[in-house]
Amino acid sequence: MARFNKIQVLNAMATTGMVPVFYNKDVEIAKNVVKACYEGGVRAFEFTNRGEFAHEVFGELVKFAAKECPEMIMGIGSIVDAPTAALYIQLGANFIVGPLFNPEIAKVANRRLIPYSPGCGSVSEVGFAQEMGCDICKVFPGDVLGPNFVKGLKAPMPWSMLMVTGGVKPEEANLKSWFDAGVTCVGMGSNLFPADVLAAKEWGKITQLCKNVFAIINQVRK
C-alpha cells in the first residue's frame, strides 16, 4: 500500500520541482541512487518499468526507502496498462507515470487515490486526462514538443499542472525555459545519472547534481 497520500505526493512534486527518472536491473545500484538523490533533496522518485523483473527491484526499493529514506515518495513510470499499474500499487507505488494516457489506468489509480501522470502530446489529451482526474499531466516527449507547447497550452488552460520529461537538462538555460513556460515540475533521466558516474559508483556526484538542479530551480522560479 502507498505510504503517502495524494496531497502529499502532489505537494512534493510541486514544491521540489524535480522528479528523477531512473531504471537499473541491479537492486544495489538502484538503492544507492535512491539514497544519493534523497541526500540531494529529492522527495519524489520515479523508477521505470523497463526491464525483466523490474517489479521485483521496485518492491525492494520501496522497502529500502521506507527504512533509509523515510520522506522519499516512490513512484513507478513507463506504465501503459491498468493491470501493470495495479501490480505496482500492490508493491507500494505512491504515484504512476506513463508515456501515454490510458483511461483504464486512471480508474485504477483514482480508486486508490493515487496520482496518475499520463504522457500527453496535445492540448486535447491533457484536457481528457484532467477530465479523468489526472492532476499533474506529463508533457512527453518534451524535447519534441518544447517549452512553447507548455506556454501555448497554459494560455487558455492556466489551471493546468504539467510535468515535462524528455530533453530536460541540469542546466540553467534549459530549466529556465521550462519553468518560464509554466511547468509545475520536471522529470529528469539520463542527464542526472551519467553512465560513467554510475559505473564508477560515485554516488556523491549524483547527490551534488541533484543539489545543483534544485538550486537552479529555486533561482529561476523567483
Question: Three cell numbers at 20?
Answer: 528523477
Question: pLDDT, tens digit, for every residue of 18-63?
Answer: 999 999 999 999 999 999 999 999 999 999 999 999 999 999 999 9
What are the structural domains of the chain? 6-217 (3.20.20.70)
CB 61 within 8 A of CB 26: no
Catalytic annotation present for 138: yes
**pLDDT band (50, 70, 90) for residue 2:** confident
Strand order in the sheet with 185-188: 116-117, 96-97, 73-77, 44-48, 18-22, 185-188, 161-165, 136-139, 119-120
- Which one of 60, 63, 138, 176 is the catalytic residue? 138
Q: How far apart are CA 83 and CA 15, in angstroms?
A: 30
CB 21 within 8 A of CB 189: yes
- Which one of 46, 56, 60, 171 is the catalytic residue? 46
Indicate whether 222 pLDDT > 90.
no
Q: From residue 3, how far is each of 50, 62, 65, 110, 148 by CA, in Å?
A: 23, 10, 11, 16, 36
**pLDDT band (50, 70, 90) for residue 1:** confident
Q: How far apart are CA 142 and CA 164, in angstroms?
A: 6
Burial of 87 (0-12, 13-18, 19+ CB in 10 A): middle
